[in-house]
Each structure stands twice: as structure tokens, then as C-alpha cells.
Amino acid sequence: MKPVRILGFMSLIYLFLLVIAYFFPKNGISVTDSVQLKFPGLKNIIFPKTITYTDISKIIRGSDTGVVEINQYPDQIDTNLSAEMRAKLHRLQFPGNNRSVIFQFLEALYQLKNEPELIRIMHYGDSQIEGDRMSGTIRYNLQSLFGGSGTGLLPVLDVTPTLSVNKSCSPNWSRYTIFGRHDTTKTGKQFGPMLSFCRFSTSVIDSSDNDSMMTSAWVKLTPSSRAYSRTGEFDHLSIYLGKNKKPLIIEVYNKENLMVVDTLPPFYELKKYTCYFRERPSEITVKFRSGTSPVVYGLSLDNSSGIAVDNIPMRGSSGVDFNRTDLKLLSKFYQSEKVRLLILQFGVNVAPNIVEDYGFYEEWLYKNLISLKKSNPQMSIIVIGISDMARKSEEGGGYESLPNIEKIRDAQRNAAFRAECGFWDTYEAMGGKNSMPSWVFANPPLASTDFTHFNPEGARIIAQMFINALLAEYEDYIKSRKTIIIPKSDSLKTRNGKN
């Protein structure tokens, strides 16, 4: 074909597209309730919008300070944060700059050096933390500094495999969650500390058991090559159970070797079963046998002292489901397991609902935070705000931030401050407006092409930035600790110059 004909053909196509752009409805054409056809406007084709992406090169370099180290003096901490680095930190924010809202947690960290015990940090979030993203980095840094090891809480079944451990289970397990749709006539409100639980089907009879009415199910845990090294260093297994109307036999194996077998009588409330290991098993299989399935809230591999960090992803949740569960059960777990910090990281499920005012979300989140604070007065709470999310601009020119991200961030911060909780601004820390495209297009990429979720490397960077901010608070706290009065609680000491 001659060049002039090729040029003419291309001109006709371009003219045809311009005609479509001129007459196509500005708001698009709805095909179904969830599918809508859109076409760039005439102005956007001829004069596409100019979008400037955030330069994140300094953010990426500034976030990676390596694993923290502690020196020989218990009152001092070397976080490897120079004066220049501290000046660049995205600090935690507090209501009225009142840092005492997390003093109980900081004091609990300090006391680990004098009175070794196991305390928990529970990291709740949406799909942004699935697979132990962020939680794994937080866990490794804090355990390296304050002691502790292991995986933290693990569900029998989860949506996305965790990086911390390889897990498999028998096919007769089912998972029930409080977030999303569920039938409360079948599940009730006792969803436990992970706001989900598992049961096994009792329709499959265990023919190997003398009792023909006995049913069995199993869970197997093996080390993961993708996990931080301390994850595989634990000295006991804990199993958290709900009610069971019949005796329950629990068998714990190291590969094929039976280590422990116990029979638990019927129980009707939260029950913790713990198995301590003389030698660390290389492969753990837990077998349950009973005439009915117990409620299994989760399993945990921990050390006897230091810090345990639990990764609790709640896909589809906006962080306002806590008031729908049994708060007395939650309170019992938080207090008995010495939970000293809750981290709540939500927002990506709020963003698709674009409205002018998010006061309703602020109020829902505030009420949930108040309930959580009442459930354990010895516990601090930090809210990690929504990250940037982007979509392709309707005016052309590339990807741009959703128009409601800052409004959602502000609602989260307002709720946190009203409830006297700490707040960390992910959106600003990662670069602010139009920063997510920069994370997606980075080399290597730091976020997925849905322009919503960090990939594992991006999540590690964000987690390290958060940890740097938290450790800066701890460093400041211990420097002025002798003049600080710690909020009173049953288990933490009041500090005023002396222990």
C-alpha cells in the first residue's frame, strides 16, 4: 500500500475516533450494574491532562536504615537514625501532640529488659497486609531489638498464603468471618481475636479411631524459605479454641513422630492449649479428633519471652467490624495474652465509595476504637492511615490519585485523635498525591498494577518507615522516662524517678 493511502487510512480512523469522542456521553454508558463503558472526551484527546508523579527516590533511600541494634545499656537504644534521618522521619501523630497515649506500650517494651515475658502486638488490616506483608518487617525489627521470635497467630485457613510459614490442612475445614456477609444464626458473635474462626466438617468419619462417631482434621506447619530467620525460632505452640460439646483429642507430631497427645473435656468458652517443645520440631502437624468440631480461633508459634506480632488481614473490611463481635471474648483474649499494642491499617475498601463527606466513616471508626480501648485499658492503639490509590485519568495523561484519599485519611486521623490513639500517615510518608504511580513504575516495581497494593518489597519499605517512626518515639521516651508518670494500670509500673 502506498504511503499516501496509509496516511489517508490513519486519518480516517483518527477522524472516526474524534466523532465518537464528541458524541459519547460524558458519564459513560452503563452496561450492567458493575460494568460501564467510557470514552475520552474530545478535549482530552486533543489536549490531554498533564499529570506529575511524585519523586520517591529520596523516600526509598531514606526509609532503609537496616535492622535496629541495642547497645549494652538498657536505658539507651541505637536505632541507627542520625540527626539528619530523624529530621526526615514521618513521625507518629498524636491528639494535641500528647504522646502519652502510647506510653503504656513504650513502658511495656522497656520492662521486657527487666522482667522478661511475652507481650503481643496485633496488626489488623485489609488486603494491604495480606501474606504477612508489613507485619513481618515490624515483627523482625522489634524482635531483633526487644527479644522474641516465632510467627504469631495463624488461622487454619486464610485467603492468601503467608510468607512466615508454609501451611497445609485437611480438606474438611471451613472458615467463618465477621467481615462480609455471614449467617449469625450459625456463627453467633464469638469470632475471636482474628475476627474469624475455622471448624472442620463432622460428616467424614475417622475410620482409624475405635469410636466410629469420631471425626478428625489436621493442620501442618513447615518452615518457609521466604520468612525472616527469627520466624522459625520458637519454643511452644498455642492453640486458641472456642466451645466444644464433646471431648477433644489433640495430637502434635514432629513429622511422623507423635510428641504429645491430650484429651480435653468439653468446654464452652475461650480455651488455650499450649505445647512446649524440648527440641524445636522441623515440621509440625496438629491433628484434632472429636465427635463435634471445636471452634478454632488460631494457632500461634511463639517464644516464651519478648514480642509476638500477629498478622491479621481482613480482606473486604474497613476496620469497623469490631463492635459486631463478642467484645467480652475479645477483652478476655487481649488481657490474658498481654496484648500491649493494636495496629489498625484499613482504608482501601472505603475508597471505591466516593462521596463528599466521610463523617460517617469517622464516627464508625471512632466507636470501634473506643470499644477496643475499653476492652483492655493496658493497651495502646495506633491507626495507620490509608495509602495513596490511583486510577487512570478520565482526562488522559496517565494515572492520578483518587479524589477522596485525603478525605478518608482525615476521617481516620480525626477518629484516632478523638479516641486518644496514635496515627501514622502512610499517604504523606509514601509521597502524597499521585505517589502510587511512582511506586508502581519504580525499577524494580514497589506496588502492583492495580495501583492500590504494595508488593512485598514496597510493603517492606513502608513498614520500615513506620518502625523508624515508632522507634524514634521509644528513643525519646526513654531519654525523658525518669520525669514521666506512666498512666496507671494493673500490670505496668508508675514511673517517677524510681521503679
pLDDT tier at 3, thresholds 50, 70, 90: confident
pLDDT tier at 29, thresholds 50, 70, 90: confident
Residue 205 clears pLDDT 50, i.e. is over it: no
At residue 182, the pLDDT reads 54
pLDDT tier at 50, thresholds 50, 70, 90: low
At residue 27, the pLDDT reads 61
pLDDT, one tens digit per residue, over 302-340 is 999 999 999 999 999 999 999 999 999 999 999 999 999
How far is it, in rounded angstroms, from Cα 130 to Cα 455? 10
pLDDT tier at 83, thresholds 50, 70, 90: low
At residue 65, the pLDDT reads 44
Residue 450 clears pLDDT 60, i.e. is over it: yes
At residue 59, the pLDDT reads 80
Cell of 255: 513429622
User: What is the pTM for the complete model shown?
Assistant: 0.85
Closest residue by Cα to residue 225 from 285, 168, 163, 280: 163
- For the chain, give the mean pLDDT: 86
How far is it, in rounded angstroms, from Cα 355 to Cα 195? 28
Residue 287 clears pLDDT 70, i.e. is over it: yes
Residue 237 clears pLDDT 50, i.e. is over it: yes
Closest residue by Cα to residue 477 from 172, 203, 99, 83: 99
- Cβ within 8 Å of residue 330, ≥6 positions away: 192, 193, 322, 372, 375
Lowest mean pLDDT among 66-80, 184-198, 227-241, 431-445: 66-80
Q: What is the average per-residue pLDDT within 146-163?
A: 94
